[in-house]
Structure formats: C-alpha cells, structure tokens
Amino acid sequence: MQLNWTEIESALNVVRRRVRPTPAYSWPQMKVRTGVDIVVKHENHTPTGSFKARGGLVFVDALHKRGATEGLVTATRGNHGQSIAMGASSVGIKSLIVVPQGNSIEKNAAMKAFGGALLEAGADFDEARRVAAKESASRNWVFVPSFHRDIVRGVSTYALELFTEVSGIDTVFVPIGMGSGICGLIAIRDLLGLKTKIVGVVADQAPAFALSYQQGTVRTASAATFADGLACREPQPEALEIILKGAADVVRVTDQEIADAIREIYETTHNLAEGAGAAAYAAAVKHRGQYQGKKVGVILSGGNIDRSMMAAILAGATPSLAASSPHR
C-alpha cells in the first residue's frame, strides 16, 4: 500500500475536525532507567483514548461521501469500535459493534456512549469478526474491516505528527494488533524519505504476526494475552505484506514485560497505558542494549484499561488468561 500526499492531506482535514495533534514527549526518567532517549507518542490523548479514532473518522467520512448507507457493522476489542461508533454518529449512520464475550466492560461502555449498538458474540476477536460479517450480510449494512486503506490513511496522521515534530529518530517501536498503526508509520516514513527503522511489537502469547514475519502467514490457535489490542490469531494478508516489506523486525514481549511497562509508564509519566499501549515501551526496554545513546520512538497507542485491571497491575500483578478459553 502506497499512500500519496493528496490522500494524507485529505485524511488530515477530516481528522482535525475531532482529533488535535497528540504530544510526543521525551521523559527524563525513562532515559535514566534505560540509557535511551525515548520519545513517547501519546495516542492515549485522543477523544477515544486511542490512535484508532483517526482511522474510523476517515473511513466513515469516505464512505459517507460515496453515498448513503443505513448502517455499519464491525468487530473489535474496543478501540476500533469506538472510532467507528464516533464516526458513524457524526454523520447520522447507525453502527453495530460486535465484541467477544467477556470483553472489557469499560470499552463496551465507551462504544455505547459514542452511539454504537453492542453485540457480544464469539470467544475471541477473530470469531467476533466472523459474526460481524454475517450480521452485515443479513442487515445489508456495510462491513467495516479492522484494516482498510482509508483506516490506514487516517491512522497515518499520527505518524506525520511524530516525524515532522521530532527529528533524528533511529527506531520506532509500535504495537501490532491488526496492522493499521505500523502500516501508517511505514507509509509516512517512506513518503518523507526517512531512514528510521520501524519495529513491530506483539505479545508473546499472541505471536501470529511475529511468526508470519519470520515464516510467511501463520495462524495461531490462541491469543491468550491480557493485552486485548494485540490478541490477533489471523494476520490480514495486505497488512502482513506491508510489514514484510517495510518493517525492520517484529519482536515479542511477555505479558509480564507488558505489565512491568504499564507500571513504569505510570511511574515515569503518570499516564495510563492499556496492554497494547504499553507493549512498545516494553520492547524498547527489553532491547535497550541496542539503542544506548540513540533516540527511539514508542507509540503509546491507547490508554483504555479497565479500572480493576489497572489497580491489580499497579499492585504488582500480571493479569492471566491461562485458565480461560483457548480462543481468548
């Protein structure tokens, strides 16, 4: 997927109606702890608490301009669903958001507040996505995938902000859920002609993209991580193709390392990070030996973590899904 400046400028015009530029800060305590000049891109500071706000707004705007539709159906673990509900409500379109059973209570509440109707179905995201496709067909509503060119156009605006505000970044660590975040970074990096390396980050217990980066497409039997934004079992081919061509690596972090990163982000910045949002920092810490004295970007992709889970993590726990369904 190659984006051009006309597409980016159009996306930026749409995004700016609801999303202001998010800050990118170098936090001194992170540098003291790691020896790395870490710049945090705070995508937890959007109206939905996640970078996904950008992509949903652009997707819905483009769809609306092409012609009227009664409704939208999508599947999500929460952040993508908020963006679609917000975008749909802004243009008077109905939205049905399908989430897995046992999904985040607070993300569910946020999607409803943005105007989405909620359906809990399936044991995990990939099963919920199949339910959403059936609902779309039966209602004759538009199915919204988690990865789409218009979504990547919208998401790429955070990368434009980062790369134009902060110079000299050697490497950016970015979490991979369904791939829009890393693909947006790759697209803007290439458009600007930068040499910055981009490293994707996945959970050790949801390694589908890491395995696929090494071996070709791999679908896993489970994605048992508390970092729900990373819980993907089935990589999308278009996203994987872009990552294979444009990423320097895809690395894995454990749930323990993600929980440690959530605590460190809170201690050093007093920002909340959900599991996926902390994964990039976890990877930067894990691989800090390679980046001593260098400037490294980490994408704090979202801060939508349930209060009970955050309290447990701050108390020193690492949430476990080991006893859950194998398809969680």
Q: What string of DSSP letters covers 202-271?
A: EETTS-HHHHHHHHS----S----S-GGG--SS--HHHHHHHHHH-SEEEEE-HHHHHHHHHHHHHHH--
What pLDDT is stored for residue 323 in this prediction?
33
Low-confidence stretches of the chain (pLDDT < 70) are 321-328
pLDDT at 68: 72
pLDDT at residue 280 in the model: 98
Architecture of domain 52-144: 3-Layer(aba) Sandwich (3.40)
243-297 pLDDT tens trace? 999 999 999 999 999 999 999 999 999 999 999 999 999 999 999 999 999 999 9
pTM, full prediction: 0.94
Q: Where are the domains of the chain?
A: 5-50+149-314, 52-144
Architecture of the CATH domain 5-50+149-314: 3-Layer(aba) Sandwich (3.40)
Asked if the domains 5-50+149-314 and 52-144 are classified in one and the same CATH topology, the answer is: yes
Determine the pLDDT at residue 326. 32
